[in-house]
Amino acid sequence: MSTAWQFYVSTLLIYLGVDIMAVWGLNLQFGVAGISNFAFIVFQAAGAYTAAVLTLGQPGPGSFQQYLGGAHLPFPLPIIAAGLVGAALSVLIGLVGMRRLRTDYQAMVMLVVSLTATYIASNATGLVNGPAGLSLVPKPLEASFSLSLLR
């Protein structure tokens, strides 16, 4: 199988895995618990940005990306940190905003959380590069499976 096909198949499998995790999470929240969670993507985005920042390293001088912190950790550590950050954020919001609220008020709290997170991520350019987002994030295990298109 050629390198381009390996790259294509691996990319599709990664998207499939992320979508399956999102569907399971939404099913657990809305299907089982009955919570209308408009901020579901906030927890996923917090974990994704954490993993990206922990794999990108420090931004160099004159870099087109600006973000807070930066490390160059090996593969499993950024994924574990991403899960921990998403879980910590959900526990914090759950304890502060979800106590003793009915479902319609919970939905309003989640909507406000998602709008606030979008506003902060878009306007605080030094946090996660503003509306441009982060790019050039290293792919996990790319060298192990020879998945690069450039040779």
Each domain of the chain, given as residue ranges in start order, spans 36-145
**Dihedral angle computed from the Cα positions of residues 119, 61, 135 and 24, in that order, rounded to the nearest 10 degrees:** -60
Pairwise pLDDT comparison (22 vs 141), residue with the higher score: 22
pLDDT tens for each residue of 76-100? 888 899 999 999 998 888 887 777 7
What separation in angstroms does the CA of 142 have from each of 6, 33, 74, 81, 145? 11, 38, 12, 20, 6
Neighbours of 29 (CB within 10 A): 15
pTM of the prediction? 0.71
Residue 21 has pLDDT above 50, yes or no: yes
Q: What angle do CA 55, 48, 23 make, to 5 degrees?
A: 145
Q: Which amino acid is at 51?
A: A
Enter the tokens of residue 137.
């994030």
* pLDDT above 70 as % of the chain: 89
- 3 state SS of 120: helix
Question: What is the C-alpha radius of gyration for the chain, rounded to an integer number of angstroms?
Answer: 18
- Average pLDDT, whole number, for the chain? 80
